[in-house]
Amino acid sequence: MEIQTVGVVGLGNMGLGMAATLARKGFRVLGYDLSETRGAPAEAAGVTFVPVLNDVLLRADALVFSLPYARDVEAVATAEGGLLTRGDRKVVVIDTSTSDPGTTRRLAARLAEAGHALLDAPVSGGPSGAAEGTLTMMVGGAEEDYALARPVLAAMSSRAPHVGPSGAGNIVKLVNNLLVAAHLVTTGEALRLSEAAGLSAEEAVAVVNTATGRSAISEVMVPRWVLSGTFDSGFAAGLMRKDVRLALELAAESGVDLPLSSHVAQIWQGSRETIPDSADFTRMADYRAGKESL
Residue 14 interacts with ligand NAD (CB under 6 A)? yes
Question: Quick one: which of 7, 20, 21, 33 contacts ligand NAD (CB under 6 A)?
Answer: 33
C-alpha angle with apex 23: 20 to 24, nearest 5 degrees? 85
* Least gap, CB of 31 to ligand NAD (angstroms): 10
Stretch that binds ligand NAD, among 68-76, 104-112, 154-162, 208-216 (CB under 6 A): 68-76
Residue 75 interacts with ligand NAD (CB under 6 A)? yes
* Least gap, CB of 35 to ligand NAD (angstroms): 4
Question: Quick one: which of 239, 244, 250, 265 contacts ligand NAD (CB under 6 A)?
Answer: 239
List, as one string, the DSSP characters of 158-212: EE--EEESTTHHHHHHHHHHHHHHHHHHHHHHHHHHHHHHT--HHHHHHHHTTST
Report the distance separating Cα 198 and Cα 188, nearest Å. 16
Question: Quick one: which of 56, 67, 91, 163 contacts ligand NAD (CB under 6 A)?
Answer: 67
Report the distance separating Cα 98 and Cα 277, nearest Å. 16
Residue 66 interacts with ligand NAD (CB under 6 A)? yes
Neighbours of 236 (CB within 10 A): 18
Residue whose C-beta lies closest to ligand NAD: 12
Report the distance separating Cα 280 and Cα 291, nearest Å. 18
Of 237, 220, 239, the C-alpha closest to 228 is 220
CA 121 vs CA 99, 150, 208, 230: distances in Å:
10, 12, 32, 29
Residue 126 interacts with ligand NAD (CB under 6 A)? yes
Annotated catalytic residue within 90, 173, 242, 291: 173
CB 151 within 8 A of CB 26: no
Residue 38 interacts with ligand NAD (CB under 6 A)? yes
* Cβ closest to ligand NAD, residue 10 vs residue 167: 10
Catalytic-residue membership of 173: yes
CB 79 within 8 A of CB 54: yes
Residue 10 interacts with ligand NAD (CB under 6 A)? yes
Neighbours of 116 (CB within 10 A): 21
* Cβ closest to ligand NAD, residue 170 vs residue 218: 170
Of 106, 90, 104, the C-alpha closest to 148 is 90
Interface size with ligand NAD, residues (CB under 6 A): 26
Stretch that binds ligand NAD, among 9-17, 144-152, 218-226, 244-252 (CB under 6 A): 9-17
* Cβ closest to ligand NAD, residue 135 vs residue 204: 135
Residues of this chain that interact with ligand NAD (CB under 6 A) are: 9-15, 32-35, 38, 66-68, 72, 75-76, 97-98, 123, 126-127, 234-235, 239
> Which residues are annotated as catalytic?
173
